[in-house]
Amino acid sequence: MALLEASAGPEPAGLAEPPLLEVRNLHVSVQGVKILHGVDLVVPAGELHALMGPNGSGKSTLAKTILAAPGYEVTDGEILYKGEEITSWPSDRRGKAGIFLAFQYPEEIAGVPLVQFLRQALSARRGTELSVLELRLGVMEWMRKLGMDPSFGDRYLNEGFSGGEKKRNEVLQMAVLEPDLAVLDETDSGLDIDALRAVAAGVVQVQSARPRLGVLLITHYQRILDHLDLHGVHILVNGRIVESGGPELTRRLEKEGYEQWRQ
């Protein structure tokens, strides 16, 4: 069940489509400490790109800055979305425009059933109130595709969920909210191999349903990337993108580690 209608028509002949996400010379500070030092990054529509780097390199800072999380101050540079400069946009405006963030550590929200949370979020995204029945049909269908227990729809958001269930729930939210750009912050963190495969399969299913979806997946490891159709890889070290390339770059990382780029 498609909960949002696609609004983008074909590009006029002769006009080049701007990248879905473009980060230009981005400098970011948190509580006065400089974390990002001139990040440049491009994610076209319909592509999945991986952002990799050691602990403390600034990966989650970049993710949260793209979604305008409080406390992340852009001191220089800009963020463009579909060719429009959005650096000053607040989080809610970015979310309504179709930017989605899957958290490394999803929050538990007591007293708010999952279906009710999704109804409110999607209603805000569409700008019109959805009925619970209208939403439930779509949620149940996606739960079936993702191998989730339908009873989770009536449970409080992430309360009592295992790590794998929380991450699969993030993929469910991405499917139902139908964003144009999804930033997945260490979605594979803390997952065993079965849960990782289930989450990766869910990402593939969402991409199949929305072929124009752009994904920036942040991870430390190659293992989840082996299950995905990867277009580009970017290595972030000490707050800078030090190299970009194709999927072969992940194999080089797996073999050589980050040491050569730390220098």
Residue 187 has pLDDT above 50, yes or no: yes
Question: What whole-number distance in Å separates Cα of residue 72 and Cα of residue 9?
Answer: 35
Chain segment 123-141, per-residue pLDDT in tens = 888 878 878 787 888 888 8
In whole numbers, what is the pLDDT of the chain averaged over residues? 88
Listed ranges 96-100, 103-107, 122-126, 256-260; the one with the highest mean pLDDT: 96-100
40 CA to centre of own chain: 18
CATH for the stretch 21-262: 3.40.50.300
Contact indicator for 202, 175 with CB cutoff of 8 Å: yes
Chain segment 4-15, per-residue pLDDT in tens = 433 444 555 556
Contact indicator for 26, 77 with CB cutoff of 8 Å: yes
Q: Name residues whose C-beta falls within 8 Å of residue 121's C-beta, 6 or more positions apart in sequence.
A: 95, 173, 177
> 77 by DSSP, 3-state: which?
strand
Q: Residues, the chain, total?
A: 263
pLDDT at 261: 82
Q: Name residues whose C-beta falls within 8 Å of residue 34's C-beta, 6 or more positions apart in sequence.
A: 27, 28, 75, 239
Q: Between the CA of residue 78 and those of 65, 89, 235, 261, 263, what are the distances in Å?
A: 11, 11, 20, 25, 27
pLDDT at 204: 94
212: pLDDT confidence band, cut at 50, 70 and 90? Answer: very high
**% the chain with pLDDT above 70:** 94
2: pLDDT confidence band, cut at 50, 70 and 90? Answer: very low
Residue 49 has pLDDT above 70, yes or no: yes
pTM as predicted? 0.87
Q: Which single residue is written with the structure tokens 């996606």?
A: 142
pLDDT at 3: 43
The domain spans of the chain are 21-262
Q: Please compute the mean of the pLDDT values over residues 179-200 and round it to a whole number.
A: 88
Chain segment 114-124, per-residue pLDDT in tens = 888 888 888 88
Q: How many CA atoms lie within 13 A of 224 on its CB side?
A: 29
